Structure 1
Amino acid sequence: MKQPPPTAWLVLVRVLFVAISVLSLGFLTWTMLLRLAIVTRRALDWGLFAAVLAIDILAVVLLGSEPGEEIHTPAGWTGLALLLGTLVAVLSYYLAAEVRHFHQLRHGAGYAPPPARTYGYPQQPYTDATTRPQTPPRTPPPHPPHSPHTPHPRPPIPTPPPQRPAPARIDQVRAELDELSDYLRKQGGPRDGDHEGGR
C-alpha cells in the first residue's frame, strides 16, 4: 500500500484549495471535490463533484441573469444562496473526508494485527503433554481418629472355631511319648535297681 505524503504537505494543499474556493466566493468550490475524488477514487466523491459542479454552473447562470451589477431579483438571490450554501457544505465535507482518508492510510499501511490463537484458552499458553510437568497423584487424607461425636462402627472380629487335632496327629504324639518313656526307663533302669538292692 502506498504511503501517504508528509502531513505538512497535506496541510498546505488543503489550505490552498480552501483559499481558492473562498476567494472565488464559491465559484470554484468544485475544485475541492475534484481533488477529493482523485485522491479517494470513490464513486460517492465523483458523484458529489458532478453535483456541485452542476450547482455552481446553475448559480453562475442565475447571477448572470441580473440586469445590473447588484442583486435585485429572486433569481440572483437564489444563485448567491446556492454558491454560499454549497461552499460551506463542501468545505466541511472536504476537510473531514480527506483527513479521514489519509489517517486510514497512515495507520492502516504496514499494520497487521497479531494472529489470533485458535487453540487453548486465551490466557493460558498451549503446552504439550511431554513438556507439561508431571504432578504426583493425590492420595486421600487419612481418616481422623475415632471420637465420641463421630461414631465409627468397627466390624466384629470373627473368632475361629476351636479346631480339634486330627486323630493321626494324636497317635503320632502318643507314639513319640511312649518311645521317650521307654528310653528314659532304659537309661534309669539299672540305677534304680542298684538303689533298691542296696536298701
Structure 2
Amino acid sequence: MQGHGQAQPPPSTGLLVFLRVLFVVISVCSFGLLGWVMLLRLALVTRKSLDWGLLVALFAAEALGLVLLGTEPGEEIHTPGGWTGLALLLGSLVPAISYYLAAEIRHFHALAYAHRTYAGGQSPAHAYGYPQPQPPSPYAAATGPHTPVPQTAPIPRPPSSAPIPSSAPTPPPQRPAPARIDQVRAELDELSDYLRKHEDGR
C-alpha cells in the first residue's frame, strides 16, 4: 500500500498572481462569456465536487443568457428577455470572480502550509487536511487484553578490577545532637551566673 507521499511544493506566488489576473481579465474582457474558464481552472486545481457544480451552473447561466440575447429582434435590447440575458451574463460575473479568487487563494494557502509542515520535520499525517491521531484512552489500557512481555535473561558483565561505585547517595554527616545541647546549656548557665553577680553588685 502507498501512503500520502511527499507534499508537493506549491507554485511560486508570482506565477499564481499572474494566472489569477489572467483568468479574471479574460472573463471581464469577454463580458462574462468566458467566465466559466476561471471556474474550470479552479475545479481542475481543487478537484472538489462543489467547484465542478458551480462550473456547470455558471456555464448553464451563460448559455441561457446568450440564448435570450440571441432572441432579440434588433441590435439593441428592447425586450425583457434580452435584459434578463444581459443580467445573467453580467450578474453572474461578479460572484464568479469573487468565489474564484477566494477559493484559489485558500487552496494554495493550505497547500503551502502543508508543505511547510512536512518540510519542518513533521509527518504528513499531522499536516493540514489529514486526520489527526487520537490519544489513547486510559480505559482501553486498563480493560484491554494484555500481552505478556517476554523476559530475557540478564546479560553477564565481565568482571572488572575497578570497584563499582554505589548508586545510592551517601547521607551528609550530621553533628551529634547532645554536644550542641550541652554547649547551649553551659552558655545559659554562664549567663545566669553573670546576671546573679550583676544583681548582687547593685
Q: Tell me, yes or no, whether TM beats 0.5.
A: yes
Aligned pair partner of 1:102 in 105, 108, 121: 108
State the 1:6 CA deviation.
Answer: 0.2
Larger Rg: 1
CA deviation string 1:149-186 (max 9, x = no partner):
xxxxxxxxxxxxxxxxxxxxxxxxxxxxxxxxxxxxxx
Corresponding residue for residue 52 of structure 1: 58
| Displacement over 4 Å in runs of 4+ | 113-116, 133-136
In the alignment, structure 1 residue 11 sits paired with structure 2 residue 39: no
Q: Structure 2-normalised TM-score?
A: 0.56
CA deviation string 1:110-142 (max 9, x = no partner):
4136999x7xxxxxxxxxxxx9x9999xxxxxx
Unaligned 5+ segments in structure 2 are: 1-6, 136-166, 173-202
Q: Write the distance in 1 (CA, Å) between the matches of 2:23 and 2:55.
A: 14
Corresponding residue for residue 70 of structure 1: 76
CA deviation string 1:93-122 (max 9, x = no partner):
000000000000001124136999x7xxxx
Corresponding residue for residue 88 of structure 1: 94
Corresponding residue for residue 36 of structure 1: 42
Task: Give the RMSD, CA atoms, in angstroms.
Answer: 2.9
**Helix, strand or coil at the partner of 1:109:** helix
Q: Write the distance in 1 (CA, Å) between the matches of 2:170 and 2:77.
A: 93
Identity of aligned residues (%): 60
Unaligned 5+ segments in structure 1 are: 119-130, 137-199
Q: Write the distance in 2 (CA, Å) between the matches of 1:35 and 1:20.
A: 13
- The verdict on how the C-alpha distance between 1:47 and 1:135 changes in structure 2, with shifts beyond 3 A counting, is farther
In the alignment, structure 1 residue 79 sits paired with structure 2 residue 85: yes
**Aligned AA for 2:114?**
G
